[in-house]
Amino acid sequence: MSVLSTRRLSKVSASIGALAILCPTGMSAQNTGSISGQVVDALTREPISDVIVSVVGSALSSGTDAEGFYTIDSVLPGLVKVKAQILGYVPITTDYYTVQPDSSVPVDFHLAPVLYELEGVEVTGQSPQRTWARHQGAVVLKKEDIPQHGDILSALQGLVPAVRVRGRRDDTRMVVRNAEADVLYVVDGSVIRPPLTFYIDAAQVDCVEIRRGFSAVVQFKPSIVGENYSGVVLIWTRGALGPRPRDCVPGG
């Protein structure tokens, strides 16, 4: 081989080496992970389709299929939060998950439905204004009273006397006065009976009212015939409609 050919071959090899450094094959695929899971109704456990699941702070998102499953690919490694939202359900934003290269992180969601109860009003003149009847001994916590991170139930730990929180995430359980009976939950007007399987980001909550004692559940008896609860936790998320404690009404 001539000297000229050898020099040309060296130049070609050097060029290929440079391109390999600048554009490594499959680098992006090898350095990213994925997030996948299922979204179901917190009450019926039925899968929910067409839910938008997204990685917070990025353009990455995916919709759930008919069985409630989704997958988000090309997620950069590191700490990420995931959000699930669809009209008619309380949106959920998770705590941080760690995404590793070439691996998939399972993130399931249990969405609580939003139900707005409409009251029939007989108009004889001026329409009466709906007000919120505060339960005796209830504790109302406004947004500024609640830590703005993590699950709303965990954030309430230590804020109300005789009320404590057990467990983490889907196993979270509130205990009132050490009673064995469960606590009833009402989210934006929707009654949610245990076992509790929803997660609500505390930063999305405007107001919480905690009613302690078995008598606090009387108002909700039509929804829980034959069951006893040691208290009620009422949660209003950001922008929720319907009556709420006066302390939680803007300008109230």
For 114-171, the pLDDT digits (tens) are 754 444 444 444 433 445 666 677 888 888 898 888 888 888 888 888 888 876 655 6
* pLDDT of 116: 46
Q: Provide CB contacts within 8 A for 95, sequence distance 6+.
A: 81, 150, 151
- With beta carbons less than 8 A apart as the criterion, state whether 75 and 33 touch: yes
What domains lie within the chain, and their CATH numbers? Answer: 30-111 (2.60.40.1120), 139-248 (2.170.130.10)
> β-pairing, 205-212 with 184-187?
unpaired
Decide the pairing of beta strands 104-106 and 109-111. unpaired
CB 154 within 8 A of CB 165: yes
Q: What is the pTM of this model?
A: 0.48
The dihedral over CA atoms of 222, 223, 227, 229, expressed in degrees to the nearest 10, equals -100
Q: pLDDT value at position 63?
A: 94
List, for residues 2-26, the tens digit of each pLDDT value. Answer: 544 555 545 545 554 444 444 444 4
